[in-house]
Amino acid sequence: MIDLDVGSDYVILGDNAAVLPTLPAKAFQLIYLDPPFNTGRTQQRRTLRTVRSADGAGDRVGFAGRSYTTLESGRHAYGDDFEDYAGFIEPRLREARRLLADDGTLYFHIDYREAHYCKVLLDGIFGRECFLNEVIWAYDYGGRPKRRWPAKHDTILVYVRDPDGYHFDQEAVERIPYMAPGLVTPDKAERGKVPTDVWWHTIVPTNSREKTGYPSQKPEGILRRVVQASSAPGSWVLDFFAGSGTTGAVARQLGRRCVLVDDNPEAVAVMRRRLGGESVRYVAVDGAPLPATVGGSGVGQGPSS
């Protein structure tokens, strides 16, 4: 059993199915999960850099006609194909409920392919009375199919352990502008409104300081809203599909403690660079070697749960 030290955050390299039973019951006020979406393909991101071409034979032309060559400096991927997705995710969700504090909340981030199946599964594990919200994260990027409406949203299913005693601090959440400020008083327009269950937020921009190069990285703005609303300062936050470590980065910024778990050494390398070493314990289960940190402005020196 892992004893959580309130003076440390934790990054654990290992299969979450093996790690979760070693964590203490009811320890986490907030659990955020961004598991693979079961798209049936490998999720992959390449990181690129450009270098000046001395012989003028590059594949890009820049300012004043200068020639540049594009080089691939990194490639990061994970499998996202499960024949039995419910069989994969169900035991992990049952562990999540065991780990959730009495006043705790689970945010389960999924896309349209599996959202309806997962909703039924979560109802069975938590109880329909513990379903709090279906949050829609709407964005605008990627392909534009011509034979169907373009899919430009993810679903976040929100469940609580106790429907009468969960933590939710609406006042801690950063407000957003009114879409029609002329329809409210000037004071209200200046203050902004509390977000609804539809969150309009861009993906992580290519040139953003947040960019890590890890596939499927989620923006800090989405996690900031989750952490602010559903956890108190000093409480424990868990993400056991941690990916690039956005949950941990936001939790640390807001004064929460975090435990991050991922079985991908590349993910832990990204988190090690992103979170640093101060007050963070890096643990590998089953004697697996911990990856070294990655320097520079991103994974592979190039421009991502």
Kindly report the CATH number assigned to the domain that includes residue 211. 3.40.50.150
Q: Shortest CA distance to 133 belongs to which of 102, 109, 151, 101? A: 109
Supply the DSSP symbol for 59.
S
Residue 1 lies in a domain: no
Residue 127 belongs to domain spanning = 9-301
Sheet of 257-262, strands arranged across:
198-200, 131-138, 153-160, 100-110, 28-33, 236-239, 257-262, 9-13, 280-284
**Is-contact 218 246, C-beta < 8 A?**
yes
Residue 280 lies in a domain: yes
Residue 61 lies in a domain: yes
DSSP of 72-139: EEEEEEEEE--TTHHHHHHHHHHHHHHHEEEEEEEEEEE-TTTHHHHHHHHHHHH-GGGEEEEEEEE-
Inform me whether the pLDDT recorded for 286 exceeds 60.
yes
Residue 4 lies in a domain: no
Question: What is the number of domains present in the chain?
Answer: 1
**Which are the contacts of 196, defined by CB distance < 8 A and separation ≥ 6?**
none
Residue 147 lies in a domain: yes
For residue 1, name the pLDDT band (cuts at 50, 70, 90).
confident
The pLDDT of residue 302: 29
Express each pLDDT in 66-88 by its tens digit: 555 544 444 444 344 457 888 99
The pLDDT of residue 298: 36
The pLDDT of residue 73: 44
Strands (E) across the chain are located at 9-13, 28-33, 41-52, 60-61, 67-80, 100-110, 131-138, 153-160, 198-200, 236-239, 257-262, 280-284
Residue 3 lies in a domain: no
Residue 69 lies in a domain: yes
Q: Which two three-digit tokens encode residue 219?
A: 């923006």
Q: Which two three-digit tokens encode residue 85?
A: 């997705």
For residue 55, name the pLDDT band (cuts at 50, 70, 90).
low
Task: Give residue 268's identity as a one-letter amino acid code.
Answer: V
Supply the DSSP symbol for 193.
B
**Is-contact 167 132, C-beta < 8 A?**
no
The pLDDT of residue 37: 56
For residue 208, name the pLDDT band (cuts at 50, 70, 90).
confident
Axis-axis angle for helices 115-126, 85-99 (nearest 10): 40
**Is-contact 196 203, C-beta < 8 A?**
no
The pLDDT of residue 63: 43
Residue 2 lies in a domain: no
Distance, in Å, from the CA atom of 261 to the CA atom of 213, rounded to the nearest integer, reads 19
**Is-contact 138 200, C-beta < 8 A?**
yes
The pLDDT of residue 206: 75
Tell me what the mean pLDDT of segment 90-97 comes to: 97
Residue 261 burial (CB < 10 Å; 0-12/13-18/19+)? Answer: buried
